[in-house]
Each structure stands twice: as C-alpha cells, then as structure tokens.
C-alpha cells in the first residue's frame, strides 16, 4: 500500500471550497506522459479544472487495482499482494502530488474549493482500502507465513523475504492494523466517520492560520517609527507596502522575514508589542478564523480513534509507530533536556533585563522584548550583529555552498536547468547528477514568501524514487521556504536562521533524491517520524563551520570572503541564546504531548484551550518572558494534520542522532568522502528499508550518545 493512502490525512495540511467543471479526459495532462525533461509535471498545461477529473479517475483506477489484488484466486504471495499494492494507484499518486504541493505552496480559492470536495472522497477511498477484509487477509497470510519462517532454525530459506521486502510487509501490515482492519463492522463504521471529519478539520485549522496571517499588516507612515531598523529592513518594508498599494509607507507582515527583523531592531516598543501580539494570536481572535473549537474537535476525534484501536491515548497510538515507542520515553528525554536548558534560559533573561536597565529603558522584560535585547546583548558580548553577517549570506552563495558541500562528501553535482517546467516565476529547477554525469533526479527550489504559500519551510516530492534497473524511477523533489526577499537595492540576504534552514531542507531533499530502494512506500523520507529529521539536521552542522564559511560566505557586493575575525565571532557566539532556543522548542513539544495524553472525551469537550496551555506551561515552570515556539491556535505541526501530531518532539530526538553522527566527520575530517559515502550508503539512500537504529549503528558503529547534543548547546 502506498504511503500516500496510509497517511492521507497527514498530507492534508490546509483545505476548503466548492466544485469545478469537468474536463474531457483527452485534454487532461494527467492522463498522459508530460513529455517534459525527466517527466517533471508540465505546470504550464495543468489547469485548475484538470484536478477533479484526474482525482476521480485516479480513485476509480486505484479501486479497481485493489479489487483485483483482493480477489485474486491465487494464493497470497509477496509479489501478487504486497508488491502489486505498492505499484498500484499511479494516476492517483500523480495528481495528488501535484495538487497537494500546489495547495501548500501556490494555492488559490479554486484549489481550496477542490480540496473541500475531494478530501472526504480521498479519506473514504483510504478507508475502503484499510478496511478491505479480503485484502487484509491476503496481507496477513503473507505476514504470518514470514513470521513462521523466522521461527524456523534454518539459516536460509528460499521463501524468506529480504530486508527491504520485510520492511515493506511490516509497514503495510501495521498500516492495516492501525487503520482499523481488526475492528468489528460497527467500529469500522465509526472509524470511517472519524476519518471523514478529520479530513475536513485539518485543512480548516491550517487555512484559519493562513487567513489570520494574511489579514494582518503593520503599516507605518511616520519614519520615526522605523528607528533602529537597518536600511535593508526598511527597503523590504517599503517594497511590501508598494506591492500592497501603499506607496510611500512601510508595511510589516506576519511572514517570518518581516516580523522577526522588526522585533530584533525596532526601538518602538509598542509597535513591537503590536506585531508580536498579532503573531501569537493567530487563530485566537474570536472571529471566523478562530481555532479553539477546531482544536477541541480534533483532539476528541483523535482520542476516539486511538481508543477504538485499543490505545489509552492518541499519544500512545502515534508514538507506538515511532522509534521512541511510548510517550513516557519521549517525556524522559524532553524532561532531561528541559532541566538542563531552563537554568540557562533564566540566566539569559537576567542578562537581557540588565541590558534594558543599563540603557535606561525602565521596562520589565516581556516576550516581545526578547529578540530586541538579544541583539543588543549579542553586540555587547561578541561585538556581533546579525546585520553585519547578512551581506555574506546572499541566497545564491548559500545555495552554492550547500551544493559544494554535497559534491565533496557525496560526489554529486547540481546543474541549473531553464528547460524544466516550474510552477511560479520565483522557482528554480536543478538537475542532480552523479560525479560521472549520471542523472539522479530533479530539485525545484521555491524560497520566497507570498500570500498563496503557507508559512515555514519544507521538503516534498512531485515524484518519489522507486524501482531498480530498467524500472528505476528518478525523483522530483521540491524545497519550499519563506526567506528574505531581494529588494531593488540588494539580493536576498539571509539571516543565520535562514542559512541553517536552507541547509536543513536541502538535507531532506537529499534524503529523497539519493534514495535507492525498490518500493515507493518505503523510499526517501518514508521512514519513522523521529528518524526523518536526521538527514536534514546533520546538514546544519556544516553550515557555520569555519572551513565551510570560507567556501560560500562571500560579500554580495565585493565577492570578498568572510573575514576571519567575523568567523571567530560567529564561532564564539555559537551557544548564544541556546537556552531560549531550546526552551521555547521544548515548551511546544511538551504542550503537543500533553494535549495528546488526554484520555477522556468528556474532559476534551469541557476543555478551555487557552487555560490548558497556560496550566501546562506553569507546570513546566516556563518563565513568563517566553511563550512556546508555537501556541496552540497556530500549532500546525500538531493540529494541521497527523504527520507531527504528538510528534513535534522528533526534532530534538533526531538532534541526539545528528549531533552524534556528525562526530564521525569531526573525527575523520568534515569533508571526508569515505565518511560521506558511508552516510549515504547506510542511511541517506536506504529510506525505510530497515530498522532505523540498525541503519544508524551500521553507519556509526554504536548507539547514539546524548553528550554531543548537550555539549553543542552548552547545556552540560
């Protein structure tokens, strides 16, 4: 069974709408080869009206394929059941990948409308597969036979599956069980109803966040209110205002490259408070975009689903499928890190208050002050300002650095292509090749914010890698971000956070691009959720290494490499503000877990979301100068789908892995090709084809240690 249909609801990030007109099959580009280089979707020919007919035909074809597999009179085998399922649904995968990627990165009212119509149909189709008794029986037959074979004393057996086949079988079998195949008929009907409701609630949550984000703008008319802001930030705000029809003014939005620099540099405290309050109240304005009741309904349905399947809480259900296995294991790690980080955070707060006192500001530090005084403290401690670093981090140079890194450690190269279709003028297309010129895949990059794109940064696929030999299908991967846009006077100049985000998402892209497994369902990033961040987060370790900075950090005007003095400052400040960074993240992770450890439907129905959040943070001892990285009402990771629900912890879980794994490069040389090839062979290319801890041990030779992470963050 393809991953698309086992985690369909997790893919549904933001949806709503109405019906579109039908189109003749012969005119629909989804019903034939695209005829483009490497079969990249032909975005110029794909029209809104093509989606719904393609979805409906894709569902029809996939249902027929599944029916044929389920009713096959031949005894169930891996090939005629599991492998056949993995190959099924090609058209539905084709249209789904384009539609949902456009929905997230380039949406419009028509696309939202189509989703409202198709999301329940896709949920029902997924349930029709997960709850197909004949199909499940065939899968179970193969599963039980293999289990029996594993109990035999024979070292080898011609009937035994290889590691990759076993991984696919385990994933499919567990997917059926977690999808409700073992439930009785009445409970299966309830499961269908729950999944149908969630299919509409997830997109509603996300759309509410986007609507609130797009509805807000801080428009400044008096230039005095720009005091403290660097010229580059002013120029960007001026261009934003001009694009909105407010020429001669300055406009700041809730897109990250806009509101964060304002918080860092604006001297006007009341305006900092205004934009920060707007940010932290997304989905919490008691209007048509309010998410508090949506959260309660999602939590209630998730708990009902988990308890139908025999779990006490949704957290138990979600984490059982991860490396961590139990919420208790997760909380053990998070609590250990919290106890280490909180003292640092309190000390940082004291230092920031001291800076404010020293400057005679006569304020009591609040959350909207943290960024502002952090920049002042950075300058005082390290003679370093972020505005001083940005000129060396042009987007083009950072990209070139990331590409040079993977050439050195993996022997691959990226070549800009202008003949490959893209879906928006800001998008770039790159062909990825082996050192000898063999084609690997295509990478699309889409880095600038716009109203049609949700916030954040992510990697996705338009086509996953699959097959082998003559049947090998190369991947088409996309990286999406919301980085600082170029202005009339400057190219896109990135912050340190944006630099690391680019490296991070490129790591996810490599996980998809360098995949080399046979089965689509376990290729690329189709791994356990708390393992998927390892390939991305390990890339961040290189971003600010002195040797790496010398390669790509060049002044956008002069081309001069970053000075050694500035590198030394960056290195010296490496653990600066880590208490805040770690604590705000952990607060959100623990909030996510606590919501999903609720075990009584009545309690959820009577839940006051804001009170629950406040109580959870008070129990933790979170200082009032900080809020969770994501408050409940705009916590898309938790409530915008099932992918990261009860799973926001995975970034820190994987941070243990990536910090330990990077030590292999520290020990052997950060550009050591042999170490890179080992990482590629044992982890990056393997997808979900084996147990993740086994893959890790194959690379590192031992279990991961938490010590490198604590040392890196200065938490020891």
Asked about 428 being catalytic, the answer comes back as no
Q: For residues 306 and 299, what is the distance between their CA atoms, to the nearest angstrom? A: 10
Element (H, E) at 476: strand 476-480
SS3 92: helix
CA 601 to chain centre: 29
Name the token pair of 256: 């990250």
SS3 459: strand
Residue appearing with tokens 């670093």: 389
Residue appearing with tokens 């950060």: 670
Q: For residues 180 and 178, what is the distance between their CA atoms, to the nearest angstrom? A: 5
**145, 348, 498, 505: which is the annotated catalytic residue?**
505
Q: Helix axis angle, 48-70 relative to 90-105, nearest 10°?
A: 140
**DSSP string of 201-263?**
HHHHHHHHHHHHHHH--EEE--GGGGTT--HHHHHHHHHHHHHTT-TTSEEE-SSHHHHHHHH
Q: Helix axis angle, 292-308 relative to 609-620, nearest 10°?
A: 80
Angstrom CA distances, 207 to 99, 151, 486, stand at: 16, 50, 27
CA 104 to chain centre: 12
Q: Are 329 and 649 in contact (CB under 8 A)?
A: no
Q: Are strands 412-417 and 250-252 parallel, antiparallel or unpaired?
A: unpaired
Nearest to 340 by CA among 707, 670, 694: 707
Q: For residues 227 and 341, what is the distance between their CA atoms, to the nearest angstrom? A: 34
So which residues are the catalytic ones? 505
């Amino acid at each position: 069974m393809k991953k698309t249909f086992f985690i369909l609801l997790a893919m549904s990030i933001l949806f709503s709408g109405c019906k579109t007109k039908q189109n003749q099959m012969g005119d629909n580009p989804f019903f034939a080869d695209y005829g483009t280089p490497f079969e990249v979707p032909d975005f110029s020919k794909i029209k809104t009206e093509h989606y719904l007919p393609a979805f409906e035909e894709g569902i029809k074809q996939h249902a027929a394929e599944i029916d044929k597999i389920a009713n096959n009179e031949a005894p169930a085998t891996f090939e005629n059941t599991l492998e056949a399922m993995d190959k099924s649904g090609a058209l539905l995968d084709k249209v789904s990948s384009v539609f949902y990627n456009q929905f997230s990165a380039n949406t419009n009212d028509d696309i939202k409308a189509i989703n409202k119509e198709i999301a329940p149909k896709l949920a029902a189709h997924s349930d029709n597969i997960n709850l197909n008794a004949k199909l499940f029986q065939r899968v179970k037959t193969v599963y039980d036979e293999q289990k029996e074979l594993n109990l035999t004393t024979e070292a080898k057996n011609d009937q035994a599956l290889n590691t990759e086949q076993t991984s696919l079988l385990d994933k499919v079998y567990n997917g059926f069980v977690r999808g409700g195949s073992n439930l009785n008929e009445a409970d299966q009907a309830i499961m269908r109803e729950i999944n149908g409701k969630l299919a509409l609630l997830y997109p509603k949550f996300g759309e509410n966040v986007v609507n609130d984000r797009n509805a807000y703008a801080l428009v400044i008319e008096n230039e005095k209110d720009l005091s403290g802001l660097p010229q580059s930030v002013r120029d960007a705000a001026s261009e934003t205002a001009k694009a909105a029809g407010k020429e001669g003014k300055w406009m700041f939005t809730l897109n990250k490259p806009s509101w964060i620099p304002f918080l860092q540099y604006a001297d006007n405290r009341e305006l900092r408070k205004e934009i920060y309050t707007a940010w932290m109240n997304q989905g919490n304005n008691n209007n048509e975009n309010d998410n508090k009741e949506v959260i309660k309904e999602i939590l209630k349905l998730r708990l009902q689903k988990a308890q139908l399947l025999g779990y006490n809480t949704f957290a138990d259900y979600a984490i059982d499928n991860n490396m961590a296995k139990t919420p208790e294991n997760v909380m053990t790690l998070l609590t250990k890190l919290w106890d280490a980080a909180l003292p640092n955070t309190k000390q940082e707060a004291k230092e920031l208050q001291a800076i404010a006192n020293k400057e005679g500001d006569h304020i009591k530090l609040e959350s909207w002050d943290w960024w502002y005084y952090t920049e002042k403290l950075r300058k005082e401690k390290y003679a370093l300002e972020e505005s001083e670093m940005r000129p060396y981090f042009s987007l083009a140079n950072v990209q070139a650095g990331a590409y040079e890194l993977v050439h050195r450690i993996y022997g691959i190269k990226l070549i800009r292509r202008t003949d490959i279709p893209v879906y928006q003028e800001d998008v770039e297309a790159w062909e990825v090749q082996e050192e000898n010129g063999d084609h690997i895949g295509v990478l699309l990059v889409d880095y600038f914010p716009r109203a049609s794109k949700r916030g954040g940064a992510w990697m996705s696929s338009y086509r996953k890698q699959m097959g082998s030999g003559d049947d090998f299908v190369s991947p088409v991967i996309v990286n999406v971000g919301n980085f600082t846009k170029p202005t009339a006077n400057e190219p896109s100049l990135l912050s340190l956070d944006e630099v690391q985000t680019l490296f991070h998402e490129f790591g996810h892209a490599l996980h998809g691009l360098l995949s080399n497994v046979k089965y689509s369902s376990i290729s690329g990033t189709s791994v356990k959720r708390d393992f998927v961040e390892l390939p991305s987060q390990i890339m961040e370790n290189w971003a600010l290494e002195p040797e790496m900075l010398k390669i790509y950090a060049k002044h956008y005007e002069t081309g001069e490499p970053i000075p050694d003095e500035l590198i030394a400052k960056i290195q010296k400040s490496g653990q600066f503000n880590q208490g805040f960074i770690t604590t705000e993240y952990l607060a959100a992770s623990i909030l996510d877990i606590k919501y999903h450890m609720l075990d009584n439907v009545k309690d959820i129905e009577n839940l006051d979301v804001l009170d629950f959040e406040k109580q959870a943070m008070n129990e933790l001892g979170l200082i009032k100068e900080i809020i969770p990285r994501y408050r409940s009402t705009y916590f898309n990771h938790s409530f915008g789908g099932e992918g990261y629900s009860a799973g926001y912890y995975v970034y820190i879980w994987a941070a243990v892995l990536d910090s330990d794994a990077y030590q292999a490069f520290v020990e052997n040389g950060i550009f050591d090709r042999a170490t890179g090839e080992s990482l590629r062979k044992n982890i990056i290319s393997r997808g979900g084809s084996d147990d993740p801890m086994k893959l890790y041990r194959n690379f590192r030779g031992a279990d991961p240690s938490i010590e490198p992470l604590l040392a890196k963050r200065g938490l020891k």
